[in-house]
Structure 1
């Protein structure tokens, strides 16, 4: 029987808007465990990572990094938990929480997979550093941190080496990039499929190309899916919505193609904020997409 280790990370310190810390709870409430068990998986819900609270809200240090110490501690704990799940032969499925938790997920996964591929399904690049970030919010930095760029207390989680290589990363759904992120994408040659490519080529071709690219020479592929990748019409409960994204149906197709490929070895679903949601629509979308990723079909 296929085994999944479900790990919640009720993190809301990587960004400004409160509420995303309830993401793991509402995804569970929307039936993620039952959905996976119905597909024949053995799911071990390992509960939530402990999040330390800062002494006051939105502490920002001289490096333009908000709540750095608390974000580091949570990701260190998550890294250890993910590494343990991988070593036990289980699929780590991480529920956020804001996207800063990807630092810990990738740090933990890369301890066992030294040439990890990454599919970053997101409206944003998350490639800022303290120097380039307009806000200082660490949820806009996890991919750059995982490439070994940024504050040493973040890049050093799970070891000092970079957790992923730029040639093993593909971004899908991007439509909001800061100037520093654009510069870094060009400098590192990171493969990006913006909404222009999705509209022009269609999701099927984009996913086929992305899968071939990220599966070439890697020893596993991690999916990092930010619910703000979807158009806000389909996923209203996110902190940083950007209009003009992939539809619910297009994203299901992407997950179904990943399921058919069998290449995904770890995943996280992040940035569900029930305070901003409508009747738990975004959490339910997350659960449905998780179902598709793990092989759910109509017939």
Structure 2
């Protein structure tokens, strides 16, 4: 039999003709081959069952092959169906009991539901269905010689590494190390918006020597990476965060604490990390190196993305300094970001898996907050539990209330480690507050929930790094995402400033702003 193929919708795979010729099926019953093949097309990216193989990628001590998928339940063909399988070859019968069948027999119905449907078909129809499934499975599997295991690069290009080659100090005008103020006017930072925009209106620093000479507390660095998401415009996040700086600047103290991070901290803009926006794999080492060099200079790295694939090199870079397993992570996100067995080993859906799998962070030191997306399935939650991870979903918030969940997460954050990295995906917030992001999910955190926990984490815990990611300016038509993202950054900086001042007590709020204390003039204070 000659099998013709047609392009499947939105995918670089082809479906066998049995998936498309409904006329070849009797009209008295619904043709199942089309149903199954469309299901197969929708399942080509379904990875939690670990059906696809992945080629290893090298990056620093880098991405390695993913874990071997957990064993799937054994498939048994029911006795009532066996007499109807006479038209199947031995290969087709073997397929019906192989793990590959789960691509077409997704839980909760699974193989039992598929077999129940096959029982209503003729042997010839069953043969056509199974043939179609086998054909799709063969296209999905990696095959050496047919499929490239790596992305080819022109290693003879004279500009192969020009994108991240650093300019030696000898080629720059001679100067004393230290932060550089680049505004022209004394009052420019107070509202004229003159000069070159920087994070927090801060001076710039170019080298670790600048950080050391300036005794810099916090170095904010942009990482305009977008290839890890597949959604547009996260690469412009750093630029827009600099120009939309309403929460950053010498506007006065944070009212909740009466601490002004701009006054208390020595903050610099460390520029943008070099990014090859045609290759996430090529970019991550430079991000990792930059995070590590900031930390080694004695400053706290704050990374402004960019998409969430950045968490992997961010955390790897900080553990290069403090040691694997010595740093905990609090991860705010609507998604659990621990997918694996994907064709690409590094993207914005896998950083949690990567840092756990490679040992940068112990599972017991990894805390997830804000999960609520469609997925993971049961296998994903089991994976987190098996790795002793802590997760706090919006389901828990609905049951216990935000304050209880916040206190639980804060307590867990210091149970097993004294160093903490915070990774904040802005889609942890409800889209009402952050519409400018690629993968918004309704039902998220509010600003009044997110700001206190960030401020408290950065004040009450020893935070050694922070990233804020997935802001996409082109999607932010109201500018509210930029405003709110900057306020989240300000909450973290306020907490770091509080810790520097020695204000580390639980849930500190300024008594000056909590209560007017003028009850003797009439009225009551609650």
Instruction: Give the alignment's TM-score, normalised by structure 2.
Output: 0.49
Task: Measure, in 2, the Cα distance between the counterparts of 1:126 and 1:142.
Answer: 6
- CA-to-aligned-CA distance 1:146-189 (integer Å, 9 cap, x gap): 112xxxxxxxxxxxx52111110010000123235334213223
- CA-to-aligned-CA distance 1:21-63 (integer Å, 9 cap, x gap): 1011111112265368634222221111112133xxxxxxxxx
Task: Measure, in 1, the Cα distance between the counterparts of 2:459 and 2:405.
Answer: 15
Q: In 2, are the aligned partners of 1:122 and 1:174 still within 8 Å (CA)?
A: yes
Task: Measure, in 1, the Cα distance between the counterparts of 2:369 and 2:263.
Answer: 27
Q: In 2, are the aligned partners of 1:113 and 1:219 still within 8 Å (CA)?
A: no
Q: In 2, are the aligned partners of 1:222 and 1:265 still within 8 Å (CA)?
A: yes
- CA-to-aligned-CA distance 1:95-117 (integer Å, 9 cap, x gap): 00000011110011111223111
Q: In 1, are the aligned partners of 2:422 and 2:463 still within 8 Å (CA)?
A: yes
Task: Confirm whether residue 146 of structure 1 aligns to residue 355 of structure 2.
Answer: yes
Higher strand share: 1
- CA-to-aligned-CA distance 1:180-204 (integer Å, 9 cap, x gap): 5334213223211000212333333
Give the 3-state SS of the residue equivalent to 1:95 in structure 2: strand
Q: In 2, are the aligned partners of 1:16 and 1:137 still within 8 Å (CA)?
A: no
1:117 alignment partner in structure 2? 328
Task: Confirm whether residue 286 of structure 1 aligns to residue 485 of structure 2.
Answer: yes
Task: Confirm whether residue 178 of structure 1 aligns to residue 376 of structure 2.
Answer: yes
Gaps of 5+ in 1: 55-69, 149-160
If asked which structure has higher relative contact order (CA below 8 Å, sep 6+), I would say: 1
User: Cα offset for 1:231?
Assistant: 0.3
Instruction: Give the alignment's TM-score, normalised by structure 1.
Output: 0.84
Give the 3-state SS of the residue equivalent to 1:294 in structure 2: helix
Q: In 2, are the aligned partners of 1:204 and 1:253 still within 8 Å (CA)?
A: no
Q: Which moved more, 1:288-297 or 1:206-215?
A: 288-297
1:207 alignment partner in structure 2? 406
Task: Measure, in 1, the Cα distance between the counterparts of 2:406 and 2:462.
Answer: 13
Task: Measure, in 2, the Cα distance between the counterparts of 1:282 and 1:181.
Answer: 30
Task: Measure, in 2, the Cα distance between the counterparts of 1:20 and 1:102.
Answer: 14
User: Cα offset for 1:266?
Assistant: 0.7
Task: Confirm whether residue 43 of structure 1 aligns to residue 267 of structure 2.
Answer: yes
Task: Confirm whether residue 82 of structure 1 aligns to residue 291 of structure 2.
Answer: yes
Task: Measure, in 1, the Cα distance between the counterparts of 2:277 and 2:486.
Answer: 28
Task: Measure, in 1, the Cα distance between the counterparts of 2:316 and 2:281.
Answer: 12
Task: Measure, in 1, the Cα distance between the counterparts of 2:382 and 2:339.
Answer: 10
Larger Rg over CA atoms? 2
User: Cα offset for 1:73?
Assistant: 2.1
User: Cα offset for 1:219?
Assistant: 3.2
Task: Measure, in 2, the Cα distance between the counterparts of 1:201 and 1:44.
Answer: 40
2:223 alignment partner in structure 1? 9
User: Cα offset for 1:10?
Assistant: 0.4
Gaps of 5+ in 2: 1-214, 251-259, 496-508, 514-526
Give the 3-state SS of the residue equivalent to 2:241 in structure 1: helix
Task: Measure, in 2, the Cα distance between the counterparts of 1:89 and 1:33.
Answer: 23
Task: Measure, in 2, the Cα distance between the counterparts of 1:183 and 1:42.
Answer: 43
- CA-to-aligned-CA distance 1:55-81 (integer Å, 9 cap, x gap): xxxxxxxxxxxxxxx212211101111
Q: In 2, are the aligned partners of 1:39 and 1:295 still within 8 Å (CA)?
A: no
Give the 3-state SS of the residue equivalent to 2:225 in structure 1: coil
Of 169, 172, 177, 2:366 maps to: 169
Task: Measure, in 2, the Cα distance between the counterparts of 1:281 and 1:236.
Answer: 8
Task: Measure, in 1, the Cα distance between the counterparts of 2:484 and 2:422.
Answer: 16
Give the 3-state SS of the residue equivalent to 2:322 in structure 1: coil
Map 1:1-299 → 2, pairs under 5 A: 3-31=217-245, 34=249, 38-54=262-278, 70-114=279-323, 115-131=326-342, 138-148=347-357, 161-176=358-373, 177-179=375-377, 180-295=379-494, 299=513
User: Cα offset for 1:245?
Assistant: 0.6
Give the 3-state SS of the residue equivalent to 1:138 in structure 2: coil
Give the 3-state SS of the residue equivalent to 1:222 in structure 2: strand
